[in-house]
Structure 1
Amino acid sequence: MAEEQDQSERTEDPTDRKLEEAHKRGDVAKSQEVNTWFVLTGATLVLLVFGHSMTASLTEAFAGLLGNLHQIPMDSHGLRNVFVRVTLASIAAIGLPLFVLMVAAFAGNAIQHKFVWSLDPVKPKASKVSPIAGFKRLFSPQSLINFAKGLAKLAIVSGVMFVIAWPERDRLDSLMSMDPAMLMSTVQEMALKLLAGVIAVMTIVAALDYAWQRHSWYKRQRMSLKELKDEYKQTEGDPMVRAKIRQVRAERGRQRMMAQVPQATVVVTNPTHYAVALKYEKGMAAPVCVAKGIDRVALSIREIAEAHDIPVIENPPLARSLHAAVDVDETIQPDHYKAVAEIIGYVMQKKARSAWRSNQDTMR
């Protein structure tokens, strides 16, 4: 009852940190049907590509062995030689196909989630050996759903296999009287038909089961408001996280500041160590600092200003003084009114003369 109440309180989507912690514990969204689909597909490919070669290799190895049984000494040395020959022949025939099946099984897990290395699922826990907890797991809603899914899958797959095998019932009756070479070919053909039908059904089953498992896993990772608050406190209390947050905020602030440089009226520089971008328009009480910086930031401000044809005036004392006295988005101090007014007046006169010359050239 307490568990159901706790689950009902988890109404918030899980954070990235919660999902990462679940992954470290080995708690991931995983469908066994997807693994089964990959193994079946791998088995079909093995039968299709290596079926004839495996049959030929095993037939040749065992034909020679069975044909010369009377010549094999029945002592420990002779039996050991027979065992070694049989083992080597089997490995040579099925080694590569088994490797393909192993790769298929690994791919079935790899495609569902990133690599997991966790010992948490195998750690001893009291709940794993508790009869009461085991009884609850056995008759839990999830167990009943899995049981129903297993029955449904068994019924569907059996039905498909029956539909495919029933038209071949006459050939099945004649298998016992077939020539061995023809028998293997017929069995391979019928096996491929069955596997193809089962894979077609399992494709749908695996897709639906993975969607369900993913939904159930994500729902299980949901958090309550209290958990969100606790995680936020833990995250904010981490010095490394706070430093990272400050770094991100500073970078975003620098980007916003740089975006305002093209709106500046003039940039006062040191010439390279300091740069202060000022904006002034009619009606403003005093010029406003839209950007400032030293060294690399100052160089970037200057480059942006030059790219947008904003006048760059070198005045080292004024640049250093402005940089120390005024912050971004603030008006300059009255102490700097006169010096800044002279610079802005010079810039405006220069723009006016440039505009007059352009008009004269246009009239000509």
Structure 2
Amino acid sequence: MALLRLDLQYFNQEKTEQATPKKREDSRKKGQVAKSQDITTAILLFAVFVFMVAFGSTLGDTLSSIFTYAFTETIHLEVTPENVETVLFQVSVEAVKVVLPIMAVAIVAALVANYLQIGFLITGEPLKFDLNKVNPINGIKRIFSARAIVEFLKSMLKVSSIAVVCFTILWWNRSELMMLSQKSIGNAIAFFGQLTLLMGVAATLMLLIIAVIDFVYQRYDHEKNIRMSKQDVKDENKNMEGDPLIKSRMKERQRSMAQQRMMSEVPDADVVITNPTHYSIALKYDEDKADAPFVIAKGVDYVALKIREVADANNVVRIENRQLARGLYNSAEIGETIPEDFFQQVAEVLAYVYKLEKRAK
């Protein structure tokens, strides 16, 4: 039995259950999401290279104008603090015109890549100081973990893929490379620029393919890491719905308070119908509140006894009618008017009660 109990405890602690929505939301708030950094890098590089292909000539003209101005105009200026400051300012402005669009495209591409993977998320949890992150034992475990091996193989795949792509493009253009000595400087620079952009776009596309595969793996690994044990699911449900012991105590207290309120209404009843010991139904007829008699208290066994005691203490008439008491108890709740089927019987009871009260007066 002890071994069986240990096996059950181990089974309950084994993380075999899919993460609940609350677990996923809590993990997301901590920054634990399925994300591939390679997708961000690939989309960023692809956007930059596409931008260079589309606007590279314009940026090249801007750079050429900087050098032309430097070697034709500024070279003749006298070296003074004012002239140096002016030249540096002009060159900086022109350099910003070249660099700023590229940086803007890279930032937008990075934001879009992250949004496509995880949506809108801002959290500072990953930046919090954690001693486990600097624990050397944990560091060694991470170095020799399965995830580290996967990352190493992925890096080797990226390097080899990029090398193959670049070598293939250079091999296809080997004849033109051999003839560069016959071209002018401008044509040679233009050829190298086009070749570089071509290798960049091709390598980026290869990285994007690898990144998609990596994203699938990251999702699998994330789902595996946030799995829950059966005990975790039970604990979460208990926290969300409340401790059953506390809930039962609250319900018991609510019932007790309801009974106290109900007992406080019994002295105002017109009649208490009993069965004669197991059921007690207190009825009242008030034309201003309802068109028919309504139930102000009811109960069985102990509660029925308390209703009878309160009724006797306040001189409320008690009528024993087994069939009527049981029928009213099963058909009407506290505060509800009695069903139409019992109108005749209750009317006869109330008439008898009113007759007794009139005779007593």
Question: Aligning the two structures, in what range does the TM-score lie when normalised by the shorter sequence?
Answer: 0.5 to 0.7
Q: What's the secondary structure of 1:111's corresponding residue?
A: helix
CA distance in structure 2 between the partners assigned to 1:61 and 1:337 by the alignment? 107
- The one-letter amino acid paired with 1:179 is S
Distance 1:6 1:173, change over 3 A: farther
Distance 1:84 1:134, change over 3 A: same
**CA displacement, residues 238-285 of structure 1 (integer Å, 9 cap, x when unaligned):** 9xxx9xxxxxxxxxxxxxxxxxxxxxxxxxxxxxxxxxxxxxxxxxxx
CA distance in structure 1 between the partners assigned to 2:36 and 2:12 by the alignment? 22
Runs (5+) with no aligned partner, structure 2: 1-9, 248-289, 296-327, 346-361
Residues 222-233 of structure 1: pairs in structure 2 closer than 5 A: 222-233=227-238
- The one-letter amino acid paired with 2:203 is V
Match for residue 143 of structure 1 among 144, 148, 153: 148
Q: What's the secondary structure of 1:118's corresponding residue?
A: coil
CA distance in structure 1 between the partners assigned to 2:113 and 2:77 by the alignment? 45
Distance 1:162 1:8, change over 3 A: farther
Q: CA deviation at 1:121?
A: 1.2
**CA displacement, residues 309-355 of structure 1 (integer Å, 9 cap, x when unaligned):** xxxxxxx947x999x9379xxx95631599xxxxxxxxxxxxxxxxx
**CA displacement, residues 190-221 of structure 1 (integer Å, 9 cap, x when unaligned):** 23321332233223211111000011011100
CA distance in structure 2 between the partners assigned to 1:223 and 1:146 by the alignment? 25
**TM-score, L = length of structure 1:** 0.62
Distance 1:98 1:190, change over 3 A: same
Q: CA deviation at 1:7?
A: 12
**CA displacement, residues 280-320 of structure 1 (integer Å, 9 cap, x when unaligned):** xxxxxxxxxxxxxxxxxxxxxxxxxxxxxxxxxxxx947x9
| 2:221 paired residue number | 216
Q: Is the 8 A contact 1:51 1:188 kept in 2?
A: no
Q: CA deviation at 1:111?
A: 0.6
Distance 1:49 1:20, change over 3 A: same
Identity %: 27
| 2:16 paired residue number | 11
1:162 and 2:167 equivalent?
A: yes
Q: Is the 8 A contact 2:39 2:211 kept in 1?
A: yes
Distance 1:12 1:178, change over 3 A: same
1:35 and 2:37 equivalent?
A: no
Q: CA deviation at 1:47?
A: 1.1
Distance 1:7 1:63, change over 3 A: farther
| 2:308 paired residue number | none
Match for residue 334 of structure 1 among 308, 318, 341: 341
Q: CA deviation at 1:158?
A: 1.0
Q: CA deviation at 1:178?
A: 4.1
Q: Is the 8 A contact 2:36 2:215 kept in 1?
A: yes
Q: Is the 8 A contact 1:325 1:333 kept in 2?
A: no
Q: CA deviation at 1:129?
A: 2.1
Distance 1:134 1:182, change over 3 A: same
1:24 and 2:35 equivalent?
A: no
| 1:199 paired residue number | 204
CA distance in structure 2 between the partners assigned to 1:68 and 1:178 by the alignment? 29
**CA displacement, residues 127-178 of structure 1 (integer Å, 9 cap, x when unaligned):** 2222222222222221111011100111112111111111212333455664
Distance 1:207 1:181, change over 3 A: same
RMSD after superposition: 3.2
| 2:102 paired residue number | 97
CA distance in structure 1 between the partners assigned to 2:199 and 2:12 by the alignment? 43
CA distance in structure 1 between the partners assigned to 2:13 and 2:183 by the alignment? 64
| 1:52 paired residue number | 57
**TM-score, L = length of structure 2:** 0.63
**CA displacement, residues 71-117 of structure 1 (integer Å, 9 cap, x when unaligned):** 13334333322221221101112322321121011111111002222
| 2:195 paired residue number | 190
Give the number of the structure whose alpha-carbon radius of gyration is greater.
Answer: 2
Q: What's the secondary structure of 1:112's corresponding residue?
A: helix
Comparing 23-32 with 113-122, greater Cα deviation is found at 113-122
| 1:153 paired residue number | 158
| 2:3 paired residue number | none
1:325 and 2:332 equivalent?
A: yes
CA distance in structure 1 between the partners assigned to 2:183 and 2:74 by the alignment? 24
Comparing 173-182 with 13-22, greater Cα deviation is found at 173-182
Match for residue 106 of structure 1 among 85, 103, 111: 111
